[in-house]
A and B are shown apart, each in its own frame.
Chain A
C-alpha cells in the first residue's frame, strides 16, 4: 500500500458534480483527489479474501447470538427480538455492508462492521471509478460494487413482495439522500419498481395496522438509510412488530447484531486467533488486553466517543453522545500512517461477496466525520 500526492483534475468539482456528487466539500474537503493509494494485486487479494472469510464467520456469529439469546450484550430491547429472529429465520433480504480494516504487517484487521447503514457507497462505487477513467483508465481498481448491486437487486426481486420497493432517508442531508438514491438507481436498473419518500413521511395506517407511503400506498418492501437503534428508539418503531403486512425492511433487523460493536468480542470468542480479527472483550474481561487497547461504545457513529490507550495513557480520543449503552475493548492496532495521513480501508460486501474498497483518510488515528475520501488503484 503506497500513497502518492498528485495534482487534482482541472475543474474536478464540476466533474464530480456532473455525476451527482455534490457533497464533495463541507466545512473541509471531503473528496480529496490530491492523493491516491496504490495497492499490489496481492494486497487486493488479501483484502478480498479477508472480507469473504469475515462475512462467513459473521453469519455464524449471528446464529450463535440468536441461539443463546445474547441480546442483552448488544443492548437490544426484549420487545424487538421477535423481529430480529423472524428476519433471520425467514432469510429476509440483505444487500450490503462495509467492513473497516486497519493493517498489521499487511494483514487486514477488522476494526468494525458497518452492517446496517454504511455510507460512502456512492463515492466508492461511482465517484472514484470515474476518477480512475480520467486519471489512468488502464489501471485497475478494486471496485465491482455497481455491477454487484444491480445483479443482487435482480436476484432479490423474487424474494420481495410483488409491490414497489420504497427507499427512505432523512431530509436535508445530501450525503444520505445521494446514497439512498444511488441504491435506488441500482434497483431500477435491476428492473424493480421503486418509490422514494423521506423517513418522516412514512405513515402508519391505524385501522389496518400497516405502513403507507405519502400517497397512501402500502409499504411492503422498504430500504431505509436509518439505523435500527433509532427506529426502535422512537415510539413509531413499535409499529414494525404490529405491521400486518410484515413488510421487508432492508437491511433486515438481524443486521442489528452485526452493526453493533458487541459483535467484535463475540467474533473473537468464537474464532479465537483468527488472523483478521483483533482480540476484543467486554468490560469484565478487558484486563486480558493489558494497557494497549481501544475503548469503543457499542453504538457509536462516525468515530464518536472512542479512546485509544497505549501503555495506559490516552493517545487519542473523540467526544460525542454515545457510551450509555456500554463499551467494548479491542486490542490497539493503529491505522497505517503516510506523512501524517491515516487511511482506513472500507471493504464492501454486496449480497454475499466482497465487492470493492473505499478509503477514508484522517489527520489522526480515529476516523471521524472530518475524514476525507481518497481514491485508489491497484497494479
Chain B
C-alpha cells in the first residue's frame, strides 16, 4: 500500500489552535491549593486540554496496588500542590530538557 486513502485527525488541529489562543482568553484570578499543608497560589492557565481546573488523585503504585495520597493540579504553583506533604516532596522535576531548545533531525 503506497497511498493513504483518508486521513482523519482527532487531536492535532484542536491542540495547536488552543496553544495559539492561550493568551487571548482573559484569566480570572482564582487562588487554590491542592494540599491542606500548602499555601494558596494563583491558579493560572487552563491547561492544554480543557477549560477547567482539574484536581487529580495522585498516589503510588506498589506491588500492583494503588495507594491514594492526595490531590494535585497542574494549574497551580508547585508550592501550593506540595506543602509539607512528604510524598510529593520526594519528586524532582526539570532534570531533562536543559540540553537544547529544538530537536529536529
Contact = CB atoms under 8 A, between A and B. Distances in A.
Interface of A: 18-22, 44, 48, 114, 116-120, 122, 125-126, 129-130, 140-147, 169-178, 181-182, 184-185, 188-189, 196, 198-208, 212, 214-218, 225-227, 230-231, 233-237, 239, 259, 301-302, 356, 369
Given A119-B104, A120-B104, 16 more contacts: A20-B12, A20-B17, A21-B16, A22-B16, A126-B12, A140-B2, A141-B4, A146-B4, A173-B103, A176-B103, A199-B97, A202-B93, A203-B91, A215-B56, A216-B58, A216-B72
9 contacts: A19-B9, A20-B16, A173-B102, A181-B11, A182-B9, A205-B60, A216-B88, A227-B105, A237-B95
A231 B96 contact: yes
B100 interface: yes
Contact of A239 (B11, B14, B95): B95
Contacts, number: 175
B98 interface: yes
The range of chain B's interface size is 35 or more
Contacts of A205: 60, 90-91
Contacts of A48: 2
B7 A130 contact: yes
Given A199-B97, A202-B96, A216 B59 contact: yes
B20 A236 contact: no
Given A141-B3, A203-B91, A207-B90, A170 B97 contact: yes
B72 A144 contact: no
A309 to B, nearest CB: 23
A369 to B, nearest CB: 7
A375 to B, nearest CB: 13
Residue of B2, B14, B98, B103 with highest tally of chain A CB at under 10 A: B103
Given A119-B105, A227-B103, A142 B94 contact: no
B101 interface: yes
A194 to B, nearest CB: 9
A240 to B, nearest CB: 10
Contacts of A116: 105
Contacts of A21: 16
B12 A173 contact: no
Given A125-B7, A144-B1, A188-B10, A230 B93 contact: no
B16 A129 contact: no
A118 B15 CA distance: 21
A350 B11 CA distance: 20
B74 interface: yes
A337 B20 CA distance: 38
A171 B97 contact: yes
